[in-house]
Amino acid sequence: MGKTFAITDLRRGLAPAGVGAPASDLRPGQDRLDAMARPLRDLRISVTDRCNFRCSYCMPKEVFDSQHVFLPQSSLLSFEEITRLARVFAQAGVRKLRLTGGEPLLRKNLERLVEMLAALRTPAGGPLDLTLTSNGSLLARKAAVLKAAGLRRVTVSLDAIDDSVFRHMNDVDFAVEDVLAGIAAAIAAGFAPVKVNMVVKKGTNDDQIVPLARALHARFGNAVVLRFIEFMDVGSTNGWRLDDVLPSRDVLARLREIGPLTALPATVDGETARRWRFDANGQEIGLVSSVTEAFCGSCNRARLSTDGQLYLCLFASHGHDLRALVRGGADDAAIAASIDHLWAGRDDRYSALRTAATPFDAKAHGDERRVEMHYIGG
């Protein structure tokens, strides 16, 4: 029998349509505030739980092997269902949609979904900020068609510039040059600047920090913005240890080997990266310090899983079943009321609690098996 994991309590916390769901008294576009006064602005949409990489910090091969059971096609939200939910979220205040996975470009005909989502509008009539995060493996062949469909921005994951280190980290022997070709294709298609994310794991790829910054600027100039992300304890299978975390302050110290840096102001509310720019060449970098400097206080993101479970925190242990509402005949008003109800009760601040009590005592905080990153995206 194949391996599978119980990662959702499908109905917990949900107020289903027709079973006591409160009517929303909020107007379209009016801020939905959670229990900590954080607005709902950003929706991450996982379109597949499958990935063609086996990065140890996300989908380690010893767990996600050839016997692992992924979701059947019938469980996945259809493009029409995703679009309908995204429309409801847009009316609830969401201004940014990010398509994730797994590897989202493994979802067949993804450009059709992009086209459908690109047609959505905010209550004020403006377009949504439609973005995608990819490992870059299929980007060279898909970048132009995604741009034509209405995708606005692309983020690529790249954890090393040394080919042997990169092949070791993706654990499927995928060459770094092919990811670089995907970045080049995205720039050529008009996506510049392309954001490139590097997850830094001490003792594994931290020696790649300076070489990657130098190499990307030498090859792409300022058409790429590089961001360094602290290795996080997402899910329950990646063997996270605090000792494997290289704090962002140490990353910044290494980057100063290249030259002086100047801090930049945040560009949007809830921005996760602290931005810096090299004085000499204008290259921008960002530091995402989700372990050592929690930013829970400004988190405005919700996550929709591949099979329609709504997660209110990246470190959540359970979701709320919106697919049941969609397929059970609920109208948009009932779905909106359930979303309002869930968001109003949200008080998630996992990283802040973990940081305040590092090393984090999972049992003391009632921590359950957390949802895996490939299932809800990063």
Identify whether 117 is part of a domain. yes
Nearest to 343 by CA among 313, 373, 366, 308: 313
- In the Cβ-directed half-sphere of 61, how many Cα atoms lie within 13 Å? 10
Identify whether 81 is part of a domain. yes
Q: What is the CATH number of the domain that holds 224?
A: 3.20.20.70
C-alpha to C-alpha distance for 102 and 374, rounded to whole angstroms: 4
Per the structure, the complete domain to which residue 194 belongs is given by 42-376
Count: domains in the chain: 1
Identify whether 23 is part of a domain. no
Per-residue pLDDT of the chain (378 residues; tens, 9 = 90+): 343 333 333 334 454 433 334 555 667 767 899 999 999 999 999 999 999 999 888 888 888 888 899 999 999 999 999 999 999 999 999 999 999 999 999 999 999 999 999 999 999 999 999 999 999 999 999 999 999 999 999 999 999 999 999 999 999 999 999 999 999 999 999 999 999 999 999 999 999 999 999 999 999 999 999 999 998 776 555 556 778 889 999 999 999 999 999 999 988 877 789 999 999 999 999 999 988 887 788 899 999 999 999 999 887 888 999 999 999 999 999 999 999 999 999 998 877 777 655 544 444 444 555 556 566 665
Identify whether 171 is part of a domain. yes
Identify whether 55 is part of a domain. yes
Identify whether 227 is part of a domain. yes
DSSP string for residues in 167-217: HHHHSS---HHHHHHHHHHHHHHT-PSEEEEEEEBTTTTGGGHHHHHHHHH
